[in-house]
Amino acid sequence: MPVISDIDRTSIHPPVGAWRRRVSQLALSLGLGASLFGLSGLVAQPAWALTAEEAYAISAGDNDDRVAALRAVVAKGDPALPAFLQALADDTVKVAGNRAYIVYGDDVKDAATGEPAKLPEGAEDVVNNNRMGSEIEAALAIGKLASTDRDERAAAIEALSSAADESQLATIDKALAAESDAQLLKQLKTVRSKALLNSQDPGRRLEAVKALGADASPESRSLLMERMNDGAETDATVKGALQAALDAVNRKLAWGEHAGVLFTGISLGSILLLAALGLAITYGLMGVINMAHGELMMIGAYATFAVQNVFRAYFPEAFDWYILLAVPASFMAAALVGAVLERSVFRFLYGRPLETLLASWGLSLILMQAVRTVFGAQNVQVENPSWMSGGFDVLSNLTLPYNRLVIIAFAAAVLIGMTLLINKTRMGLFVRSVTQNRPMASCMGVNTARVDTMAFSLGAGIAGLAGCALSQIGNVGPDLGQNYIVDSFLVVVTGGVGQIAGTVYAAMGLGMVNKLLEGWSGAVLAKIMVLVIVVIFIQKRPQGLFAMKGRSAEA
């Protein structure tokens, strides 16, 4: 890409010392060249073509006149403009008489010729308001649209969008033809439509309206609404097209908004399901009111954090797959803690719900303090693997995050595995037999104490899996479990004590209701309303969605 060099300038003017080097460095750092301004054959042209009248018109006067002068010079493609614009952006331009001067410390140069000059007495600073600042940034951004650095092009497009104008169409079209990144290409098309909306030609404005209507994105809706509401459109045909395009965009975006609510409801439901599945065993099947269930989830999350740190320190090349080891680690850590708690505390409190509640609450405080002592009181960050970062664009206003999709699939896998374990394995048979008739199971040779420990450990391990999943969507801290313990009990009670199918329905139902109410009343009121709904439901149907069936119920 051709650039403005000191050699080009010395063919017309002699070197002028440090200030000349400063201007050259500015132009080079901006990556600006004649090709970006629609020029060719730069070497054969004067290196400093900005006239005194143009420099003064850009620097002084009414803002509308300054903007018009700037756009005219940008369209002409003066190679001296980038350095002059950078000086304007740096607030180093002063005006006196009918001339503009660039002042860097003690160096004063004429803005038009680039020659040394004496600053007249009474010279005034050039003041740029927000609108002029946006125009200057947009003009500077033009030179960066052909950069090989994607981030630099993205920043240039963003700056250009704030002051898009019809005079920039030639440059935008060149950038569109050269751009290969799909996301930046879409942004450039939006910038082009925004520039066409300000055209004096109704045909061009109509072209922009049709393009925005076909795009059907939130940005397009904003541009169409702004054009509709500012009262600047006078052409009846364009007005009709604006309204039709806006209606079409609203209809398309409505589908995305409804689908987004549905997805967030399912996502929240899957998290509640993971949190409640373990409680469905400890409380639903065993009748243990375990207020430390949330802390078992926290232990699973911290186990994931520990595995992540091990991979980061010793196996950095395999870091993206640390989650495959974190899943069993979180299960085993929480299950081990659950077994210890059951053997040391809960086995002595079966059939005593009040004492169990108080003891488990005390245990939750002990576990939280233990974690604060080992890991600190501050939250820790668990990083997503690269394949779980980002999202899948379904619609222009609907992106499905990969980590949420993975958690939904993970919840389904845990649900299937737990269902098969309870219904198809010897351990599940023992758990169901002890739950339904403990004395008879004991008479048949079932070691009920061992089954209690195994069942409690299973519920604790599933809580650990829930903590592993939660670590992928937020920070991990000692209070992590406190955010989900109440919701977990609501899910289990609403679904029916001991009923896994009811737990699934209740988790998804409460997740959907919660998100629907959030859009209407806000997060805090939505939580309160969900609680009220559950209380009313339990009063009408104490057994929950599905009643517990046992030998006594079937007799």
pLDDT digits (tens, 9 = 90+) for 463-492: 999 999 999 988 899 999 888 888 888 888
Structure confidence at residue 131 (pLDDT): 84
Residue with tokens 């030998």: 551
In 10 A of CB 353, how many CB atoms? 12
State the pairing for strand pair 99-104/93-96.
antiparallel
Which pLDDT band, with edges at 50, 70 and 90, does 434 fall under? Answer: confident
Mean pLDDT over 519-535 rounds to 83
pLDDT surpassing 50 at residue 337: yes
User: b vs e for 448-468, b when ≥16 Cβ sit within 10 Å of the residue's Cβ?
Assistant: eeebbbbbbbbbbbbbbbbbb
Indicate the average pLDDT of the chain.
82
State the pairing for strand pair 107-110/124-125.
unpaired
Q: Give per-residue pLDDT as tens, 203-248.
A: 988 998 999 888 888 888 888 888 888 877 888 898 899 999 999 9
The phi and psi torsions of 94 (rounded to 5 degrees) equal: -125, 155
Which pLDDT band, with edges at 50, 70 and 90, does 360 fall under? Answer: very high
Structure confidence at residue 313 (pLDDT): 93
Q: Which one is predicted more confidently, 330 or 22?
A: 330
**Residue 262, Cβ density class (10 Å: 0-12 exposed, 13-18 middle, ≥19 buried):** middle
Q: Which one is predicted more confidently, 167 or 417?
A: 417
pLDDT surpassing 50 at residue 8: no
Structure confidence at residue 528 (pLDDT): 86
Q: Which one is predicted more confidently, 181 or 499?
A: 181
> How many angstroms separate the Cα of 112 from the Cα of each of 52, 53, 64, 68, 132?
5, 8, 21, 18, 20
Least-confidence region, from 126-140, 320-334, 335-349:
126-140
The share of the chain scoring above pLDDT 70, in percent, equals: 88
The share of the chain scoring above pLDDT 90, in percent, equals: 26
The pTM assigned to this predicted structure is: 0.70
